[in-house]
Amino acid sequence: MDTLQGLHQLFIRAAQWYPDHTAVVEPREGSVTYRELARLSDRVRDRLHACGVRAGDRVGIFMRKSIDAVATIYGVLKVGAAYVPVDPGAPVARNAYILHNCGVKVVVMEQRFEARFCTETGQLGTVPDIFLVEGTGGGMRLHRALDQADAQQQAPATETAISAPRDLAYILYTSGSTGKPKGVMLSHENAVSFVDWCSEVFEPVTSDRFSSHAPFHFDLSILDIHVPLKHGATLVLIAEEVGKDPLRLAPLMAEQQITCWYSAPSILSLLAQYGNLAKQDHSALRLILFAGEVFPVRHLRTLTALLPVPRYFNLYGPTETNVCTFFELPRPIPESRTVPFPIGRVCSHLKGKVVDEQGCEVQRGREGELSISGRGVMQGYWSLPQQTAGAFLTDNDGTRWYKTGDIVVEAADGNYTYLGRRDRMVKRRGYRVELGEIEAGLYRHALIREAAVVAVPDEDAGIKIKAFLSCREPKRPSMIELKRFCSENLPLYMIPDYFVWCESLPKTSTDKIDYQRLNEMN
């Protein structure tokens, strides 16, 4: 078992052991060795310190996935702060809210976002200090920005922080049911215990090449970044545009000789259907990991037929625990299998139990809510003490159990099967989506009087999102206008697929929107 406590210390040790190994590859932009990444992140640490960042602070990262962003992550951790990555493709107002909400001391930001960000944060109150990088790519732009800052005033060299287990390492914002995203606070202990579990199960080696498909604000990135960089392996960054497009992604995976792939199932389904996988050499692949949503068996069968060699793991877990259960798929997939595979057993660094609505543990075989305790479980939600308290059950001995909101059943062999949600959260392309956040976004439109959103099962997409609306005026906005409005106010994965206009929405006897009737209207 590892004894290192800081997430960045895993990387620092690997950089001492494997200085000349390639740490990160950014296709078409460049690559860096462990020595180079260590040096670059040291410079970020020193610059952030010179900007006033101290242990315990938060630092925002508002840039495209790149070597520059990876170096910034380690720079933030080395100065003892927690990193807060935001989605560069999301509306700037949403990112401004996030970075304002958790009170970042500094934001490391690409120049193209600066003007709108300052306008948006200005409306919220204070504008944090910004360390501007002209762009991103291969780490060179970050180098240049640091050089320019040093030319004005050299940042003094500082010591790398030795973080305590409970110190925050990062905050990831997820969709919030009230319409505002909420910040999940993860400590170094949370992250390191998860990374160590990955080491135990996936046995990374220095010759491994891990994909980084998920964006950095998504919790899949924790495995992507910190597992290979603990082991002297190589991280291959996949640009957002390429990552969505199976026609470009499949050849890139082959060309980069990816050995460990990790993503949401949706892109794997697309790769199986449209990626021409049989025509490329994917013989390097030894692991295919997927998480974030249910993988339809039909597409999974196609994928495993096209790529029969690697081991396949279904990983399950909310951001609050990261991966908490896992299941290795049998091979080949039996013809008789039509329902999704189980989410599996609880990871070794955690404990799980299934509870009823009163929080009492149910017998094996009975349905209930999966609850998780242990070293991987979050500290809480940033600045939301009530929601934090409501998210946990506490035993008499003080053990905190995070209530996942997922209804499961435990089989005789100890594997859990996912049955559904307790609330209105859905998964779309691996992202958590609170339907209430979409409704809150729609209500911002001046003409919308009522908005109610439901998720409809869809064989190909998993789910489709349908919005029922009523209008304040006889002339209703067009569907194009609504989609455009949503694209400016919500992340792309939250834009409804369908809009249905009603004179007024159906109500229950207590005058609340009747979701049951809306579901029946489908």
- 472 is an interface residue for another protein by CB under 8 A: no
Distance CA 289, CA 313 (A): 5
Residue closer to another protein (CB basis): 17 or 274: 274
As given in the structure block, the two tokens for residue 202 are: 């996936």
What region, left, alpha or beta, does residue 68 occupy, with left being phi > 0 and alpha being psi -120 to 50 degrees? alpha
Query: What is the C-alpha separation between 76 and 89, in angstroms, rounded?
Result: 22
State the Cα–Cα distance between residues 284 and 373, nearest whole angstrom.
Answer: 36
Nearer to another protein, 137 or 251 (CB): 251
Q: Choose the stretch contacting another protein; rule: CB under 8 A; options: 247-255, 281-289, 360-368, 441-449.
A: 247-255
Mark 189-228 with x for binding to another protein (rule: CB under 8 A) and - for no binding: ----------------------------------------
Give the residue with the Cβ less far from another protein, 206 or 478: 478
Q: With binding defined as CB under 8 A, does residue 444 bind another protein? A: no
Contact between 498 and another protein per CB under 8 A: yes
Window 222 to 241, contacts with another protein (CB under 8 A): 241
Out of 88, 91, 181, 246, the residue judged to bind another protein by CB under 8 A: 246
Q: Which two tokens stand for residue 259?
A: 């050995």
- Provide the residue type at 518 as one letter: L
In this structure, what DSSP letter does residue 357 have? T
Least distance in angstroms from the C-beta of 436 to another protein: 20
Residues in CB range of 109: below 8 A, 6 or more apart: 60, 62, 63, 117, 130, 131, 132, 133
What contacts 270, CB < 8 A, 6 or more positions away?
246
Strand 30-33 relative to strand 260-263, pairing:
unpaired
- Subset of residues 45 to 104 that bind another protein, contact rule: CB under 8 A: none
- Does residue 487 bind another protein (CB under 8 A)? yes
Does 345 bind another protein (CB under 8 A)? Our answer is no
Residue with Cβ nearer another protein (182 or 466)? 466
Task: Yes or no: say if 316 and 326 are a contact pair by the CB < 8 Å rule.
Answer: yes
Tell which one of 162, 419, 492, 521 touches another protein (CB under 8 A).
492
At closest approach, how far in Å is the CB of 284 from another protein? Answer: 21
Task: Report the residue number, 107 or 270, with the smaller CB distance to another protein.
Answer: 270
- Binding mask of the shown chain, residues 257 to 296, with x at each position contacting another protein by CB under 8 A: ---------x---x---x----------------------
Among 366, 484, 507, 512, binds another protein (CB under 8 A): 484
Which of 389, 479 has the CB closer to another protein? 479
Contact call for residue 495 and another protein (CB under 8 A): yes
Shorter beta-carbon distance to another protein: residue 303 or 324: 303
Q: Is the peptide bond before 330 cis (omega within 30 degrees of 0)?
A: no
Based on the shown chain and the rule CB under 8 A, indicate whether residue 244 belongs to the binding site for another protein. yes
Please write down the long-range contacts of 181-184, taking CB distance under 8 Å and 24 or more positions apart: 181/94, 181/97, 181/98, 181/101, 181/437, 182/381, 182/382, 182/384, 182/387, 183/84, 183/98, 183/101, 183/102, 183/381, 183/382, 183/383, 183/384, 184/319, 184/320, 184/378, 184/381, 184/382
Distant-in-sequence, close-in-space partners of 370: CB < 8 Å, separation ≥ 6: 325, 352, 353, 354, 404, 406, 407, 408, 416
Binding-site member from 55, 333, 461, 502 for another protein (CB under 8 A): 461
Which residue number, 248 or 337, has a Cβ lying nearer to another protein? Answer: 248
One of 247, 389, 419, 456 touching another protein (CB under 8 A): 247
Output the DSSP codes for 490-511.
Answer: S-GGGS-SEEEE-SS--B-TTS
Which residue ranges make up the site for another protein (CB under 8 A)? 241, 244-248, 251, 266, 270, 274, 461, 478-481, 483-484, 486-487, 492-493, 495, 498
